[in-house]
Amino acid sequence: MSRILTPREEEIMQVLWKLKKAFVKEILDELPGPKPPYNTVSSVVRKLESENLVGHNTYGNTHQYYPILQKSNYRKFMIGRMVRNYFSGSPESLLSHFVKEENIDVEHFRQILDQIKEEE
């Protein structure tokens, strides 16, 4: 991933990640209101496809779209960017922020670390 998705692109990708595959009308139906015009959604999906973030299957005159960009890959990209830009590249600073500012219990982090170690 080389760029941040626009808010509209991210909304559409969230729908595709949720549904796994969808026609433009199905994407439109899943978007929170107020709904953009059908042609806007169609244009955004085609732009995402031109960047190889979305693919499609053809059924007659219609296309059913599916995500090529995996949600986990985009999440990794965005979190990495946030750590670099807001926490001086330090994951430790990010965790410290969550503990101090978001009132997340340190013991909860220890449990998560233990779980990660068990999975390795």
The pLDDT of residue 23: 98
Q: Could you tell me the two tokens for 102?
A: 């978001």
Cis peptide preceding 37, ω within 30 of 0: no
Give the pLDDT of residue 116. 81
Rounded Cα distance, 115 and 117, in Å: 5
Domains and CATH numbers, the chain: 7-67 (1.10.10.10), 90-120 (no CATH)
Q: How many Cβ atoms from other residues are within 10 Å of residue 65's Cβ?
A: 24
CB 22, CB 64: distance < 8 Å: yes
Per residue of the chain (120 residues), give pLDDT as tens.
779 999 999 999 999 999 999 999 999 999 998 999 999 999 999 999 999 999 999 999 999 999 999 999 999 999 999 999 999 999 888 888 878 887 777 788 788 888 888 887
pLDDT at res. 102: 76
